[in-house]
A = this chain, B = another copy of it.
Amino acid sequence: MSTRRATIADVAREAGVSPSTASVVFSGKTPVSDATRRRVLDAASALGYTGPDPRAASLRRGRSGIVGVVFEEHLGTAFLDPVKTLMMDGLADGVAPIGAGLLLLRDHEPVEALDSGSPARAVPTLTTAPLDAAVLIGCSGHLRESLETVIARGIPVVVIEGDAGDGVPRIDLDNREATRQAASHLRTLGHTEVAVVTLPARGGWERGWILDDTAITIDVTRDRLAGALDVFPEARAFAAAGSFIDEGLAAGRVILADPVHRPTAVIAQSDLLAAGVIRAVEEAGLRVPEDVSVTGFDGIVVDGLAPYELTTLVQPATDKGRAAGQAVATMLEGADAASIRFTCAFREGNTTASPPDRD
């Protein structure tokens, strides 16, 4: 049949009922007699009608059943991070009760060249996607911009790990306090020479030392660093370009390079970074934790790190995601959602010990 798809009106006509009755059969919003239902269903299958067009339904209802999840990175990259992965998991759980799907979005679309001869076309994003709500996974300066876009559209929004301002529910961690715990642990062990390997200082950051005048626009980085400095005000900090083992390795090499300033402990802002630092320590012919103690952050399973068991802060990543999902669900039902700050659990592994005796 080269004709257009059947609509609910066609089905109704075929079944000899009114469109509204047919609609009700599919939505189940109102009781329908069995006989009528059967007629409608039969007519539908006869016409190859598979149910209401979601586009029309969402226009009418004012709901699309879609929650946008905004990343600032290349989508693929986002899932390379175990913590984000777990968050997505929780998020999926959290929105399940309202039956929403998760739409992956990037906050600043890459400047795509004109491909395949097709004329320049607007790349849909936050502005043009049919979202019921949005979850911003926050960090960089783009967050601010995305936030405005979403708020302007009047869409409920939740921010994970970022400064939302206003009345925007925020899901985050006690980053500063948590790091302070790790640092205190190190001080208790007797460390005084400590270095910090941080997450990026801001979007597009290349790895390098954080100096007094370095602006840190990423909240997580700033807060965790503050926690470390609370205990070791003199600690030097080197910011990696991302949360990867290789970045930790690179940072570790730099930090350990100068024998004079060599720290006896390194506070890494993520487990992956910590794993890299451990490699750097080994590479330098030193031992963990005998010569250098290392702490991480996240409490993820770093595959293949054995025999080390990282001393780290275990963050409830899945819970964070779930909380965000629930907050979204709450807002979608018209209620106000509260911000939630989760707490990390300090977990002592075998990567921290007292510093070696000095001569």
Residue of B nearest to A97 (CB): B115
A29 to B87, CA, bound (A): 40
Interface size class of A (residues with CB under 8 A): 35 or more
Q: In the complex, are the beta carbons of A304 and B318 less than 8 A apart?
A: no
A356 part of interface (Cβ distance < 8 Å): no
Per-residue interface assignment for chain A, residues 180 to 219, with 1 indicating a CB less than 8 Å from any chain B CB and 0 otherwise: 0000000000000000000000000000000000000000
A275 part of interface (Cβ distance < 8 Å): yes
A319 part of interface (Cβ distance < 8 Å): no
A104 part of interface (Cβ distance < 8 Å): yes
Q: In the complex, are the beta carbons of A97 and B118 less than 8 A apart?
A: yes
A99 to B74, CA, bound (A): 14
The contact of A124 among B99, B106, B125, by CB within 8 Å, is B99
Residues facing B in A52-105 (CB within 8 A) are 52-59, 62, 64-66, 68, 74-77, 79-80, 85-86, 88-90, 92, 96-105
Q: With A58-B55, A124-B99 known to touch, is A76 a contact of B86 (CB < 8 Å)? A: yes
Told that A92-B106, A101-B104 touch, could you supply 12 new A-B pairs with CB distance under 8 A?
A28-B122, A48-B152, A51-B127, A54-B131, A66-B103, A76-B86, A76-B90, A76-B92, A99-B124, A100-B124, A101-B125, A303-B304
Listed in ascending order, the chain A residues whose CB lies under 8 Å from chain B are 5, 28, 48, 50-59, 62, 64-66, 68, 74-77, 79-80, 85-86, 88-90, 92, 96-106, 109-110, 112, 115-116, 118, 121-125, 127-131, 149, 152-154, 245, 275, 302-306, 318, 329, 333
